[in-house]
Amino acid sequence: MRRAAELLGDLLFPRRCPVCDRPVKPYGALICDECRDQLHPIDGPVCAKCGKPLEDPYAEYCADCRRLRHRYIRGCAVYTYRSISGAIYRFKFEGRAEYADFFGTVMAEKIREEFRNEPPDLIIPVPSSAERLRERGYNQAALLAEKISDLCGIPCRSDCLLRVKNTPFLRSLNALERQKKLKNAFIVPGSDVKSMRIMLTDDIYTTGSTIDACADQLLQAGAASVYFCTLAIGESHL
């Protein structure tokens, strides 16, 4: 019955490709065959901490991670931000929640590849503020986490980490400015994360300030370790 409803929904409102934003071809796919090659997966040498591509193949860490002390253990991303920025914008600001099926699928593949020997116990999305939820109607990080959870068989909880401060958009700020804005922005309301290996999910990793702010609260609440996976990652900020 559910499958029939999904098929009817696809016929009435065809799924849109996250790259070209037109109805997906072939029918039933999550992305157009010809559009997939326009995305640039993270490949080659990456930072051992955050997973950013490295210009120097002999370096261990990117410029950001050499000068910043992070609270998480390590993380990974699927695509370079530049190659998928338009899709992320539509996903976050133009109501394209359906993109989460494709985005979550590739993130699940990345997590299985990167953490096959150390799978997380729990997936937690970076939370949105109540104001952002009202504006968008959904938390894009939570949609990604739910899809990853379904595909990886790892529990997902959106109530273990809450955002209690509506911070402004941080894209124009440096790492120190971001840290100040994010101070006291998150809380862990209970003890459900105690001794857990946590995987945080979000759409973009830039300087790591948001992931660090979340990780700090989770570790203070007793989490054993914190990792992250994002859909996209930016460049090092010197």
Query: 3-class DSSP state for residue 230?
Result: strand
Give the pLDDT of residue 174: 63
Residue 227 neighbours by CB under 8 Å, 6+ apart: 72, 73, 74, 75, 115, 120, 197, 198, 199, 200
Closest CA to 55 of 64, 65, 45, 42: 45
Structural domains of the chain, with CATH: 1-38 (no CATH), 39-233 (3.40.50.2020)
Does the pLDDT value for residue 2 go beyond 60? no
What are the tokens at 119? 């799978």
- What value does the mean pLDDT take over residues 117-124? 96
Check whether the bond before 23 is cis (ω within 30° of 0): no
* Contact (CB, 8 A) for 143 and 137: no
* Contact (CB, 8 A) for 56 and 207: no
pLDDT in tens, 142-159: 999 999 999 999 999 999
d(CA 208, CA 54): 16
Does the pLDDT value for residue 182 go beyond 90? no
Q: Poorest-confidence range of 86-100, 178-192, 216-230?
A: 178-192
Distance of CA 75 to the CA centre of its chain: 10
Structure confidence at residue 169 as a pLDDT band (50, 70, 90)? low
